[in-house]
Amino acid sequence: MANADDDRRPKYQRIADSLREAIQSGEYGPGDRLPGENDLMAAHGVARMTARQALSVLRDEGVAEARKGAGVFVRAFRPLRRRGIQRLSQQQWGSGRSIWSADIENRALEVDQVTVSEEAAPDRISAVLDLADDETVCVRRRRFVLDGKAVLLATSYLPTSVVAGSAITQEDTGPGGTYARLAELGYKPVHFREEIRSRMPSKDEAAQLSMSPGTPVIHICRTAFADEGRPVEINEMTLDAASYILEYDFDA
């Protein structure tokens, strides 16, 4: 792989590149321990700082992760495949299943930190839900933990005028969840819009999702619409990007 171009790369970059190639070729698999600083110093005849920089390049890229006192490992990446469109079909929640059950493929899912409260609507929510002045929202916050790892934070906003007195204002929304209850209330979701962004997590998000350094979050803002384009829910989700592949399937 050496050529005139390569030789201009700094030493730590050349070492990082060769480790990355070894990972991509499968020489080191997910969860495998990578050579440590001492190994790299001996193998490449470099100073400790150079070896450390090489490993930090791979950590910053999210290819590898450090475990305290144990070394640097190829990140074990077994992400969830979230099928954006199929999971929200009415067949799913209409039959009493949770939307989430479409994603998890028999893995152990726990929803924790559920809170439900009536709050003043933030401006961006009020604008999209087209609320009357001073109309409050029902706010449902929860965290999803999969195989013991927190993977998603979700906050839903629904107009109090729509959901007051229903199970949507309770921790347990019942079979089929919020969307099945909205249908019973006469606001069946018929259309969805998902907006996807990605950025680095805040310290708070990184802590709540137990994220490894060098990992971004994916932010999904979903709006659910009932008949005649009436917006009935906004769900703001923050996903650990190392835990997810989002998939959208659609016709031309």
Binding site for a second copy (CB under 8 A): 13, 20, 57, 60-62, 79, 84-85, 88-90, 179, 188-203, 214-218, 241-242, 244-252
Pick the closer one to a second copy by CB: 168 or 180: 180
104, 20, 60: which is closest to 212 by C-alpha?
60
- Shortest distance in whole angstroms from residue 251 CB to a second copy: 5
- Shortest distance in whole angstroms from residue 188 CB to a second copy: 8
- Shortest distance in whole angstroms from residue 27 CB to a second copy: 15
Pick the closer one to a second copy by CB: 7 or 165: 7
- Shortest distance in whole angstroms from residue 79 CB to a second copy: 8
Pick the closer one to a second copy by CB: 36 or 84: 84
For residue 121, what is the DSSP state? P
> What are the residues facing 155 on neighbouring strands?
141, 236
- Angle CA(229)–CA(232)–CA(233) in degrees, nearest 5? 125
- Other C-beta atoms closer than 10 Å to the C-beta of 78 total 10
Cα–Cα distances in angstroms (integers) from residue 38 to residues 16, 20, 35, 52, in the given order: 15, 18, 8, 10
Pick the closer one to a second copy by CB: 142 or 188: 188
For residue 243, what is the DSSP state? G
Pick the closer one to a second copy by CB: 133 or 249: 249
Cα(15)–Cα(108) distance, integer angstroms = 39
Pick the closer one to a second copy by CB: 60 or 110: 60
- Shortest distance in whole angstroms from residue 154 CB to a second copy: 17
First-last CA distance in the chain: 41
- Shortest distance in whole angstroms from residue 202 CB to a second copy: 6
Cα–Cα distances in angstroms (integers) from residue 209 to residues 107, 142, 227, in the given order: 18, 12, 36
